[in-house]
Structure 1
Amino acid sequence: MATPLLPYAESFVDDVTAALGALSGRDHAADCTIEARNIVTAVLAADGRFTTDELEGWLDAIGARLDPPVLVTAHQLRASDLLRSDDGWLASPSTLFDLLVRADARDGTARASVYYGKAMELAHATAALDLVPSTDEIAAIDRFRATLLAGFDAAGVARPGAAAAVGPAASDPSPQASEPEPEPARPVEDVLAELDELIGLDHVKGEVRRLTSLIRVQTLRAEHGLPVIETSRHIVFVGNPGTGKTTVARLLSEVYRSLDVLSKGHLVETDRSSLVAGYVGQTATKTRAVLESALGGTVLIDEAYALARGGENDFGREAIDTLVKFMEDHRDDLAVIVAGYPDEMQELIDSNPGLDSRFARTLAFPDYTTDELVAIFGLIAKRQEYHLDADAARRLHEVIAAEPRDRGFGNARFVRNVFEQAVALHAVRLADVDAPTRHDLTTLTPDDIAAV
């Protein structure tokens, strides 16, 4: 019986063979079949074990295409050396990929992107052979993706789905309850490319990529009528303000839509003031209205721990109960992200058994380093067509480094405040300049940089 892996192996071989053939004029099907074998074997071997489903999938999709074909049983394959894989294979670009990406750099083509897309499909289809892919297999896919993207960078070729660099957006605590018209879903690689461009947040980005891979694997299994394990889309975000939580929530909601987990993928931001009313019975209505505006997308509840404070008679408890019931009633088309400080968020989760069972994943957003905050300042300044001279850059580093990193440190919000103050000081400094040049108008000096 054909396995779900077979069509993805065939597609990889056919499309990469065509891409290579356009360069050389020769048939590279045999080379591409071996390449597919290497990818599949490396992912399967990542956790050091081979299930019967994995072995049968390998034999059906890979073994039968090799020359000579491998015609053995799953038991015989497990006992052989055919599935030995060097994990280092995932850590450096293959010869075939290197040929394609170098040709792209020379010719301005995008054949390596074909390899990348088909290789990612094949890797995820490999992990989908089992009901629950192991964490080692998901991590192997992430390493393979990073290896290929580094190959694009090294060759000076744009990454697939490359987006303009963006910094973390400051969160607007006011609710956005209006329901936007959904735009066409972006390819998931485009969304992940934008995620990759965010400054810092390496652990957070890795967790989002791994969650994305897990959902892709389950989606592939569902498409082939195989049993799936439901993956919770509800997440707890913990960390100080200005650490990119809103930006990551927006991108994660887009990922969900790209993978058909959500129908719209928009983000609604809210907090206690938009959910809790002052009279009995009004809180449930108010909370439902906000949640209904988020249907098809994601609701981000900032400082969500405030809902669990105020005692047993506080209306925040009513908002929590309404939230839990709404999550259950609309489990197929809503994602909920609750955000706040770590200790307080644990108190919130412990306040209601329904929350504890639904929020199985927590992402910790660390404070940015000084260098990362300097880079964020540079992005903000670039958008407004300002830049720092060398002395101003050193002064900025000193100002940021001197700011206490205690609870409540504003991170990117603090940097935005420093920038806005710098623009104001710059304007005052130029007020007495009769005919400022473009350089004068766009250059920030040490006199413009001060603590806020």
Structure 2
Amino acid sequence: MADLRQTRQLFDVGVLSLGVPLDGQEAVVDRQQARLAFQRASEFEPDMCDAWLGRIACGDRDSAVIFNLYRSRSNFHLEFRRNGLAPTAVDARFATGSYLDYPILTRTDVEAAYAASLVADQDYSAAEEVLDSAESTPITNYVRGVLHFATQRWPDVMKALNGSAEWSDEYMRAGADTMVGIACARTGLNGEALRRLELAEAGPIPAAATMARHVHGLVLRAEDKESEARAIFEEIYSRDPGFEANALALQDPRRRLIVTDPADIDRRTDRWDPESVPSDAAAGPATEQAALLDEAQAELDSQIGLQAVKTQVAKLKSAATMAQVRAEKGLATNARSQHLIFTGPPGTGKTTIARVVAKIYCGLGLIKTDKVVEASRRDFVGQHLGSTAPKTSALIDSALDGVLFIDEAYTLIQDGLSGGDAFGREAVDTLLARMEDERDRIIVIIAGYDGEIDRFLAANDGLSSRFSRRLSFESYAPTELAQIGEVLAEKRDSHLTPEAITTLEQACGPLFDQTSVDQSGRPRRLIDLAGNGRFIRNVIESAEEEREFRLSSGDVDVSELSTDDLTTVTADDMRAALSTVLGGLRLPV
């Protein structure tokens, strides 16, 4: 084992090899020799703090090296003083974890370096202990800000960096402005967020300026200033197309900042884990799930007609329920795809039933939320090759833990394009891959006419195997359409007279019985071309307009009108509305 004299000789060799002259000795830069000399010195004398510092100056930032630097900090710069070296003689820096490396010049800097290393290793409690025992300086406050930023404790980020505006180091100010700006944005303090982000954008750190600019755009999007936000995303993309988060924000206007309630941060069961906030469902899962199931059943029961669909939904619910019961008893259960196909004409309640299914699946614990994200081809397909996959993936991200409802799914792959529909196929390939990767986090429902859905499934071998369950929606009969009209009117504080109801039902008879061809040349019922329930909604709205026109025409004091006058839709109102709506549809009735 080497004695202290030999160890100091090794240290001196390391310093000389970094190009720093000692006692008139000529310095020749040889970083490999410097690294080896400092390594040997630290091995021979583990308490020689400056040997560990030399290793860091040679680029060895391993967490064990930084730990030993901290452990031996009582001897910090002892060898420097022996050789008459200035604190800046060797350039030893540590990674703060947020945009900048900081020079280790004092014992407090050593403590900050060790705390930053602990944050990088996700040992957050230990990092906080080190910082609590250290002197409060700009660098220890900066690293404390990094600690809270990494663990999304946004108010603590602001508190830690409260005095950063007075710091003399412009690089540290820029990093602090970026962290505080993002923390403000994530807690909904948009005004202060923009002020701090703009300071960071003008700062000397390019990476921080770019991130601040990106979050600036997200804040504008949160304030419904989409055109301004998009201009920022385009500007960033032109300079840095590889910035993935910005590219996704540019492609998908639904990508937004997640705003956190500070009270939720205080409710964490693990103060460092953002995912440890007790959910309302966790507080009373059985009650919440039961309420969702009851709500879903009530919505299903309230739907007019759809008897076959109601039976099929009941079977879906029972199948999922019994699978859970079998699993709890240790019995084998066959894995079944939960993805669904809804076939039938437009306006027959497919979107409504998708929401019912989402509540049932959430109530049964198959998915975490009952959210339904509605999408069509334009939400999947990008404007140039290579942009479709990220756009599709971002859409799927927005639907995770819920239901993705794709209406007119067959339009994803279009016929008649020269060379095929490369964009559509890229979207489908990405969809299938994500459905497999996220099979426990998303339910996909595709909807459309039977024939078109069959063509869509045949376009990719992977589709039919993932969509094995089909719910068939039929056209509404005239009686059902009239009942829908009554319900819609009641929801709008209107009342159809018996004669108006009869007029509506009689008008729907020919629409149900007669057919015509759609744009693709396929025969359809006229009521399907009109839109079924959507047609009825348009008629009711038009009938109310006719009523308002009737009541306000002539020499009438509208202040004298009764509630019945203001709510009643007559047969004449209905006939005029039907004439207007059908005339606009130009159906061959």
Is residue 2:448 matched to residue 1:340?
yes
Q: In the alignment, which residue of structure 2 is the partner of 1:363?
A: 471
3-state DSSP class of the match of 1:363?
strand
- Give the CA deviation at 1:390: 2.0
- The one-letter amino acid of 1:391's match is E
* 1:78-157 alignment runs, 5 A limit: none
Higher relative contact order (CA 8 A, sep 6+): 1
Which residue of 313, 319, 339 corresponds with 2:427? 319
Q: In the alignment, which residue of structure 1 is the partner of 2:378?
A: 273
C-alpha contact (below 8 Å) 1:175/1:271 kept by paired residues: no
Which residue of 573, 581, 586 corresponds with 1:448? 573
Q: In the alignment, which residue of structure 2 is the partner of 1:133?
A: none
Q: In the alignment, which residue of structure 1 is the partner of 2:326?
A: 221
Describe the shift of the 1:250–1:208 C-alpha distance in structure 2 as closer, same or farther (beyond 3 A). Answer: same
* Distance in 1 (alpha carbons) for counterparts of 2:472 and 2:530: 15
3-state DSSP class of the match of 1:300?
strand
Q: In the alignment, which residue of structure 2 is the partner of 1:438?
A: 563
Q: In the alignment, which residue of structure 2 is the partner of 1:250?
A: 355
Q: In the alignment, which residue of structure 1 is the partner of 2:367?
A: 262
- The one-letter amino acid of 2:569's match is L
Q: In the alignment, which residue of structure 1 is the partner of 2:533?
A: 412
Deviations 1:190-224 (A, max 9, x none): 42232122111100110110111011000112223
C-alpha contact (below 8 Å) 1:182/1:266 kept by paired residues: no
C-alpha contact (below 8 Å) 1:238/1:362 kept by paired residues: yes
Q: In the alignment, which residue of structure 1 is the partner of 2:407?
A: 302
Q: In the alignment, which residue of structure 2 is the partner of 1:423?
A: 544
C-alpha contact (below 8 Å) 1:240/1:366 kept by paired residues: yes
- Give the CA deviation at 1:177: 7.4
* Distance in 1 (alpha carbons) for counterparts of 2:421 and 2:405: 25
* Distance in 1 (alpha carbons) for counterparts of 2:255 and 2:548: 37
Deviations 1:248-295 (A, max 9, x none): 000001100111100112100000011101211110111111111110
Deviations 1:166-209 (A, max 9, x none): xxxxxxxx997789999844342442232122111100110110
Is residue 2:194 matched to residue 1:194?
no
Describe the shift of the 1:428–1:396 C-alpha distance in structure 2 as closer, same or farther (beyond 3 A). Answer: same
Deviations 1:426-448 (A, max 9, x none): 11001033221111001001121
**Alpha-carbon RMSD:** 2.2
- The one-letter amino acid of 1:366's match is E
C-alpha contact (below 8 Å) 1:177/1:294 kept by paired residues: no
* Distance in 1 (alpha carbons) for counterparts of 2:562 and 2:298: 37
* 1:166-205 alignment runs, 5 A limit: 184-185=288-289, 186-205=291-310
Structure 2: stretches of 5+ with no match in the other structure: 1-251, 260-278, 282-287, 515-524, 582-589
C-alpha contact (below 8 Å) 2:486/2:501 kept by paired residues: no
Describe the shift of the 1:175–1:260 C-alpha distance in structure 2 as closer, same or farther (beyond 3 A). Answer: farther
Describe the shift of the 1:295–1:378 C-alpha distance in structure 2 as closer, same or farther (beyond 3 A). Answer: same
Deviations 1:139-189 (A, max 9, x none): xxxxxxxxxxxxxxxxxxxxxxxxxxxxxxxxxxx9977899998443424
3-state DSSP class of the match of 1:335?
strand
C-alpha contact (below 8 Å) 2:409/2:446 kept by paired residues: yes
3-state DSSP class of the match of 1:339?
strand
- Give the CA deviation at 1:394: 1.7
- Give the CA deviation at 1:337: 0.4
C-alpha contact (below 8 Å) 1:182/1:264 kept by paired residues: no
Deviations 1:72-130 (A, max 9, x none): xxxxxxxxxxxxxxxxxxxxxxxxxxxxxxxxxxxxxxxxxxxxxxxxxxxxxxxxxxx
Which residue of 323, 330, 335 corresponds with 2:438? 330
Q: In the alignment, which residue of structure 2 is the partner of 1:16?
A: none
3-state DSSP class of the match of 1:280?
coil
Q: In the alignment, which residue of structure 2 is the partner of 1:232?
A: 337
Q: In the alignment, which residue of structure 1 is the partner of 2:397?
A: 292
- Give the CA deviation at 1:303: 0.7
Q: In the alignment, which residue of structure 1 is the partner of 2:21?
A: none
3-state DSSP class of the match of 1:430?
helix
- Give the CA deviation at 1:307: 1.0
Describe the shift of the 1:373–1:389 C-alpha distance in structure 2 as closer, same or farther (beyond 3 A). Answer: same
C-alpha contact (below 8 Å) 1:175/1:269 kept by paired residues: no
Is residue 2:492 matched to residue 1:384?
yes
* Distance in 2 (alpha carbons) for counterparts of 1:315 and 1:408: 28
3-state DSSP class of the match of 1:281?
coil
- Give the CA deviation at 1:313: 4.2
Structure 1: stretches of 5+ with no match in the other structure: 1-173
C-alpha contact (below 8 Å) 1:388/1:443 kept by paired residues: yes
C-alpha contact (below 8 Å) 1:392/1:445 kept by paired residues: yes
- The one-letter amino acid of 1:436's match is L
* Distance in 2 (alpha carbons) for counterparts of 1:253 and 1:187: 9
* Distance in 2 (alpha carbons) for counterparts of 1:349 and 1:342: 11
Q: Between Structure 1 and Structure 2, whose CA radius of gyration is higher? A: 2
3-state DSSP class of the match of 2:529?
coil
Describe the shift of the 1:380–1:348 C-alpha distance in structure 2 as closer, same or farther (beyond 3 A). Answer: same
Which one is further off, 388-397 or 421-430?
Answer: 388-397
The percent of aligned pairs where both chains have the same amino acid is: 41
3-state DSSP class of the match of 2:400?
coil
* Distance in 1 (alpha carbons) for counterparts of 2:445 and 2:477: 25
* Distance in 2 (alpha carbons) for counterparts of 1:227 and 1:397: 51
* Distance in 2 (alpha carbons) for counterparts of 1:441 and 1:409: 28
Deviations 1:302-340 (A, max 9, x none): 111011214434301100000100100000111000111
TM-score for both structures, normalised by structure 1: 0.59
C-alpha contact (below 8 Å) 1:200/1:372 kept by paired residues: yes
- The one-letter amino acid of 1:211's match is L
Which one is further off, 204-213 or 189-198?
Answer: 189-198
3-state DSSP class of the match of 1:298?
strand
3-state DSSP class of the match of 1:337?
strand
Which one is further off, 196-205 or 221-230?
Answer: 221-230
Aligned residue pairs, count: 279
- The one-letter amino acid of 2:425's match is R
3-state DSSP class of the match of 1:408?
helix
C-alpha contact (below 8 Å) 1:269/1:299 kept by paired residues: yes
Q: In the alignment, which residue of structure 2 is the partner of 1:396?
A: 504
C-alpha contact (below 8 Å) 1:239/1:365 kept by paired residues: yes
